[in-house]
Amino acid sequence: MWKGIGKRESGELRPSLFCSRIRSSRAASLQLSNHKEIVSAHRGSVNSLQVDLTEGRYLLSGGADASVAVYDIQNSTHCEEGGRVAKHKSIFVIDKQHEHGHKYAISSTIWYPIDTGLFVTGSYDHYINVWDTNTTQVVMNFKTPGKVYRIAMSSLATSHMLIAAGTEDVQVRLCDIASGAFAHTLSGHRDGVMSVEWSTSSEWVLLTGGSDGAIRFWDIRRAGCFSVLDQSNSQLGRRPPFLENSALNKASTSKASAAGQSSSVKARALQRRAANGNGSKQSTIGRVRNQVKGSMKHRLHPGLLSSQDRATAHYGAVIGLKMTGDGMYLLSAGSDSRLRLWDIESGCNTLVNFETVRLQTSKPLQLSLTQDSALVFVPCMATAKAFDVWSGKTRLTLRGHYENVNCCWFNAQDQELFTGGNDRQILVWSPPNLITDDVDALSRKGQAALDEDNWSD
């Protein structure tokens, strides 16, 4: 760190590069914080966490005991152990005793993207509530036909105020805060929708993952999904260190040209057969096929064939989705205990081999990415693991919870990670504080020298 500061002072490092190096090094050295502690207000498992996107100051959490709490993670309520450990108690808690509180477990909580004056909760009691933070009262609510698994709002939206809700019903519902009603529904999944994620590059694109193993892309301005990810459609990733060798490119182009030649030869052979005879039979068969294809297209979504519409991204339910900050790649987690990295532009599986993971399959999981999208934090049973996004290698294994971890949230402002689990605890993982550690080391060294002198005397 000090070497980097010296290079920055001499002008060898640009400010942006220096900041990115410091952030990445801090994120790669996370450990259980010994100077900050969240006093959990939940009596059940913690299912959702989020730090507000405007100030990076308030932590919102939802639990299985139907309670939601807000914490100030910058200002502590009191300190212990001689002021070394800062305790952060909840500013307020809303539980079942509240007149408009949820009756069953809260599965998802989110802040209003541009203001901390509102937050939204989704629950297994089929309700989505929009709360006023100042008065802790429900501004409006939406009733869905099934349990609410996950809700999301776009951080880029300037033209709409829509809440995307994934429920145990097959349809994805869009709740409009401006009108207080459902804007419209998105039909296509064949089972419940367990994860929803808005695109980080377009306010109109929504991604959903269902219990049917499918990941669908929607443009909310038109009917039907425009893309379905297929795990059999794969290619190596486009970012370093993938496809740096030109030989791979030459091999792929030669294969493509060979395939094009073979297809043209087949087409010519079919034309010759039709010209030699049986033209009437071929024409009638072609008409029947066209009629069947036309009827199938009417039943399917616009622009999708039957094989594409039934494609799956995982062999089990899709329990977690997270898009990179540039909107080019998507990370998905499935109940088949697989993590996959997808190229958004081509819709291909990049074949990144994430090291062995074991994921719980009973509920949706909340993944989190670092600011530079280099590390992804994934709840893996009783641990939270940090994987390198581009190589799939395990960089960190964070052990501290006594039971399964359900959610992760990385606070880019302070490079801190918050995790919640079935043990009702919210743990804080922070990088080592070099200044205080150095001061403590110097004080210990001075104390040891003082003791040594006194002993020798």
Residue pLDDT, tens place only, 327-336: 999 999 999 9
pLDDT band for 304, please (50, 70, 90 cuts): low
Q: Are 445 and 437 in contact, with CB atoms under 8 Å apart?
A: no
Compare 394 and 260 and report the one with higher pLDDT: 394
Compare 5 and 343 and report the one with higher pLDDT: 343
The model's pTM is 0.79
Cα–Cα distance for residue pair 344/375, rounded to 1 Å: 18
Range 128-145 average pLDDT: 94
- Report the pLDDT value the prediction gives residue 369, as an integer from 0 to 100: 94
- Report the pLDDT value the prediction gives residue 361, as an integer from 0 to 100: 80
Backbone angles phi, psi at 176, to 5 degrees: -100, 115
Residue with tokens 């998507």: 330
Token reading at 365: 């999981």
Token reading at 138: 């429900």
pLDDT band for 239, please (50, 70, 90 cuts): low
- Report the pLDDT value the prediction gives residue 8, as an integer from 0 to 100: 63
Mean of the per-residue pLDDT values of the chain: 81
pLDDT exceeds cutoff 50 at 348: yes
pLDDT exceeds cutoff 50 at 436: no
pLDDT exceeds cutoff 90 at 276: no
- Report the pLDDT value the prediction gives residue 223, as an integer from 0 to 100: 82
- Report the pLDDT value the prediction gives residue 440, as an integer from 0 to 100: 47
- Report the pLDDT value the prediction gives residue 311, as an integer from 0 to 100: 85
Range 426-432 average pLDDT: 94
The DSSP letter of residue 81 is T
- Report the pLDDT value the prediction gives residue 240, as an integer from 0 to 100: 46
pLDDT band for 2, please (50, 70, 90 cuts): low
- Report the pLDDT value the prediction gives residue 21, as an integer from 0 to 100: 81
Please name the fold of domain 28-236+312-442: Methylamine Dehydrogenase; Chain H (2.130.10)
- Report the pLDDT value the prediction gives residue 292, as an integer from 0 to 100: 38
- Report the pLDDT value the prediction gives residue 82, as an integer from 0 to 100: 74
Rg (CA), the chain: 27
Beta strands in 124-180 (DSSP E): 127-132, 137-143, 148-152, 162-167, 172-176
Among the listed ranges 41-50, 200-209, 301-310, which one has the minimum average pLDDT value?
301-310
The residues spanned by each domain of the chain are 28-236+312-442, 243-272, 280-310
Q: What is the largest CA-CA distance in the chain?
A: 115
pLDDT band for 25, please (50, 70, 90 cuts): confident
pLDDT band for 439, please (50, 70, 90 cuts): very low
Peptide bond into 302 cis (omega under 30): no
pLDDT exceeds cutoff 80 at 350: yes
Range 401-417 average pLDDT: 93
Cα–Cα distance for residue pair 193/320, rounded to 1 Å: 11
Taking each helix axis from N to C terminus, what angle separates 2-10 and 15-27, rounded to the nearest 10 degrees? 170
Range 81-102 average pLDDT: 89
Name the residue among 24, 47, 26 with its Cα closest to residue 419. Answer: 47
Cα–Cα distance for residue pair 341/323, rounded to 1 Å: 9
Residue pLDDT, tens place only, 141-200: 999 999 999 999 999 988 999 999 999 999 999 999 999 899 889 999 999 999 999 999
- Report the pLDDT value the prediction gives residue 452, as an integer from 0 to 100: 44
- Report the pLDDT value the prediction gives residue 38, as an integer from 0 to 100: 94
- Report the pLDDT value the prediction gives residue 1, as an integer from 0 to 100: 57
Percentage of residues of the chain with pLDDT beyond 70: 76
Name the residue among 416, 422, 431 with its Cα closest to residue 401. Answer: 422
Q: Are 194 and 321 in contact, with CB atoms under 8 Å apart?
A: no
- Report the pLDDT value the prediction gives residue 358, as an integer from 0 to 100: 86
Percentage of residues of the chain with pLDDT beyond 90: 57
In sequence order, the 6+-apart residues with CB closer than 8 A to the CB of 210 are 166, 170, 189, 190, 191, 192, 193, 194, 216, 317, 318
Residue pLDDT, tens place only, 361-382: 878 999 999 988 899 999 999 9
Name the residue among 427, 387, 390 with its Cα closest to residue 407. Answer: 427
- Report the pLDDT value the prediction gives residue 284, as an integer from 0 to 100: 42
Residue 311: CB atoms within 10 A of its CB come to 20
Range 273-283 average pLDDT: 44
